[in-house]
Amino acid sequence: MPQANLSYSAHIKLDAPAILARAEEVIKAADAGAGSCKGRAYPLTQTHHDHVFLHIRVLDKPHRDAPFMKALLADLHGALDPMIAGPCTFSIELGFQSPYGSSADIPA
DSSP characters for 2-42? Answer: -EEEEEEETTS---HHHHHHHHHHHHHHH-GGG---EEEEE
pLDDT at 55: 98
Band (30; pLDDT cuts 50, 70, 90): very high
| pLDDT for the residue 39 | 97
- The pTM of this model reads 0.91
Largest CA distance in the chain: 43
* Rounded Cα gap, residues 53 and 18, in angstroms: 15
pLDDT mean across residues, the chain: 94
User: What is the Cβ-side half-sphere exposure of residue 9, based on CA atoms within 13 angstroms?
Assistant: 15
| Domains within the chain, CATH numbers bracketed | 3-96 (3.30.429.10)
